[in-house]
Amino acid sequence: MSYLVNLVLRDRPALVVGAGRIAARKIGDLLAAGARVTVVAPRVAPEVERLAADTRLRVYRRGYAASDLAGVIVVVAATDDHGVNARVSEDARRAGVLVNVVDEPALCTFTLPAVVRRGDLTLAVATDGQCPAFARAVREDLEARYGAEYAAALALLATARRGLRDAGWDGARVQHVLSALCRDGLVDCVRAGDERRLAALLRAHLGELAPVV
């Protein structure tokens, strides 16, 4: 069983070896996480070309070299050449760099879950590399169940949490009242767009510290 973590990559260097359609998705995810991404590949797909306008992305049209790993935090190997992928994995392990090789879990030191993002809320599904297709199927179920209202609810809770902490509430009390808000229908109020009911719910739990909706 793997140990799931959220890796903070903002302004940190990452490497992607390969520049095809699958690599483009990995590059996009890294850029969305705020990473500074270097791509190395002899050929570059149009999907990657479209990402090249991002100033945090550098693309080198050549083959991979072990020296590309210098200073890198994570590397993703997404080529259709098993030999290249295996070499990236071996070099990364030797250099102490986290490595993910697409569709080859035996070559990975980390795998990537299927994720659903709703604002700052991330729902992740992992199968430890045993069946990515099943993880994708579960992700589709989550996408249907958890809509945009969860992003809005989280934003409200985050605002409330900051206000409570600024008012001097201790962590246990903050956690208790925010959990009660969730149990008592916060998401339902947001989903229904019922601002009056939502405001009443917030006041009932937070009093004068309730955020304005």
Quick: pLDDT tens for 67-89. Answer: 999 999 999 999 999 999 999 99
For the cut 90, the answer to whether the pLDDT of residue 132 exceeds it is no
Q: Please indicate, yes or no, whether residues 10 and 57 belong to a single structural domain of this protein.
A: yes
pLDDT of residue 167: 97
In angstroms, rounded to a whole number, what is the distance separating the alpha carbons of residues 1 and 162? 35
In angstroms, rounded to a whole number, what is the distance separating the alpha carbons of residues 60 and 41? 6
Contact 7, 29 (CB under 8 A): no
The rounded Cα 13 to chain-centroid distance in angstroms is 16
Query: What ranges make up the beta strands (E) of the chain?
Result: 13-17, 36-40, 57-60, 74-77, 98-101, 114-118, 121-125
Half-sphere exposure of 25 (CA within 13 A, CB side): 8
Among residues 66, 86, 112, which one ends one of the domains? 112
Q: Please indicate, yes or no, whether residues 49 and 84 belong to a single structural domain of this protein.
A: yes
How many domains does one find in the chain? 3
Rounded to 5 degrees, φ, ψ at 114 are -80, 130
Q: What's the CATH code of the domain at 125?
A: 3.30.160
**Sorting pLDDT into bands at 50, 70 and 90, what band is 213?**
confident
Q: Please indicate, yes or no, whether residues 138 and 158 belong to a single structural domain of this protein.
A: no
Among residues 112, 137, 171, which one ends one of the domains? 112
- With b for 16 or more beta-carbon neighbours within 10 A and e for fewer, the 166-175 pattern comes to eeebeeeebe
Q: Please indicate, yes or no, whether residues 20 and 106 belong to a single structural domain of this protein.
A: yes
Q: Please indicate, yes or no, whether residues 135 and 73 belong to a single structural domain of this protein.
A: no
pLDDT of residue 53: 84
What is the chain's length?
213
Contact 15, 79 (CB under 8 A): no
Q: Please indicate, yes or no, whether residues 99 and 120 belong to a single structural domain of this protein.
A: no
Q: Please indicate, yes or no, whether residues 37 and 106 belong to a single structural domain of this protein.
A: yes
State mean pLDDT over 37-43: 97
* Domain span holding position 164: 149-209
The structure's pTM equals: 0.83
Q: Please indicate, yes or no, whether residues 95 and 1 belong to a single structural domain of this protein.
A: yes
Q: Please indicate, yes or no, whether residues 4 and 106 belong to a single structural domain of this protein.
A: yes
